[in-house]
Amino acid sequence: SARLSESARQTLLADRQFRARAGGVPLPQGSARRGESARYVHDAEQHQILPGRLVRREGEGDSGDPAVDEAYHGLGATYRLFWEAFERHSIDDDGMALLATVHYGKDYENAFWDGRQMVFGDGDGELFNRFTVALDIVAHELTHGVIQHEAALAYAGQSGALNESLCDVFGSLAKQRELGQSVDEADWLIGKGLFTERVAGRALRSMANPGSAYDDPLLGRDPQPGHMDAFVVTEADNGGVHINSGIPNRAFHLAAMALGGHAWERAGRIWYDTLVDRRLEQDSDFAAFAMLTLDNAERRYGAASTEAGAVREGWRGVGVLT
């Protein structure tokens, strides 16, 4: 809808403003020991200037501002997912500071990674609540930073949809792990709580049932496909990066469900191995990514393993592998 593309336009604009003033205010550097995060949460006080006023540093107690404290906790949970499940020490695996800004802009209806930090809008309160309400959204944005450091994946077409899907996968895993949920207990929703009660929808996206997250008079219907048969060819959204991500999202969900237990332990480990194994290219497509997940499953667990079987089943289920 016009409303959403306006947000995207603002996102691009903000990115340019940030670059323009980069080099001015020095950003804090990470100095944490391995296993410890270095979080810095800022308040933009409804301006679109980054990073804004520093309001909560690592180790400081609650600020009393829900957006600040949700961002702080979300960054912590995401740091712990990457460290405790995958032995990764922050965005660059070298203790990089986790920089976030909340209250970005007025009624700003998005969250993004700008190449250096995470940024969260407050929403307009009519359709969208503040973007820190969902831990998976905070983790999604942080994962954009990890991908920037690990994989070339261009942000367009199938490679862009893979980029988006990886952010949803690790976003959901951060939430599942924080809540101690098994694959059956998890809701597999991205952005639950983001819509106000005026919107007919549960969340921004559903990994289990792409296309079913919302169906609203103003927002329209969730456009995500969950199978290659329904792949969306479009110029919008960088070639549908937030649309076709439904296909690899569902492949991950199917693989995780086939394995059972905690999704971050085996399915998540295989996806993480693939994210960091250096064979992903700028234009890697779904099929190339699928083959790499299969290869990583076989390397880690064996060619005839349950894990490799589950991964193959996941990609078959969405029509990427035959």
Q: Which among 99, 96, 147, 143 is positioned nearest to 120, based on CA atoms?
A: 99
Q: Please, what is the minimum distance in Å from the beta carbon of residue 167 to ligand ASN?
A: 7
Specify the stretch interacting with Zn ion by CB under 5 A; choose among 165-173, 181-189, 191-199, 216-224: 165-173
Q: Residue 28 corresponds to which amino acid?
A: P
**Residue 111 touches which of Zn ion, ligand ASN, none (CB < 5 to 8 A by kind)?**
ligand ASN
Is 242 tagged catalytic?
yes
- Does 146 participate in binding Zn ion (rule CB under 5 A)? no
Which residue lies nearer to ligand ASN by CB, 172 or 296?
172
Minimum Å gap between C-beta 149 and Zn ion is 15
Question: Which tokens sit at 38?
Answer: 């270095």
Residue of 103, 242, 253, 262 marked active site:
242
Q: Which residue is nearest to Zn ion (CB)?
A: 167
Position closest to ligand ASN via CB? 112
Whether 281 and 152 have beta carbons less than 8 Å apart is answered as yes
> How far from chain centre, in Å, is Cα 228?
22
Residues at the contact surface with ligand ASN, assessed by CB under 6 A:
8, 11, 110-112, 140-141, 144, 164
Structure token pair of residue 221: 């219907």
Choose among ligand ASN, Zn ion, none what residue 110 binds, the Cβ cut-off being 5 to 8 Å by kind: ligand ASN
State which of residues 50, 67, 167, 263 lies at the interface with Zn ion (CB under 5 A): 167
Is residue 241 part of the contact set for Zn ion (CB under 5 A)?
A: no
Verify whether residue 141 is a known catalytic residue.
Answer: yes
- Contacting positions for Zn ion (CB under 5 A): 167
Name the residues annotated as catalytic. Answer: 141, 242
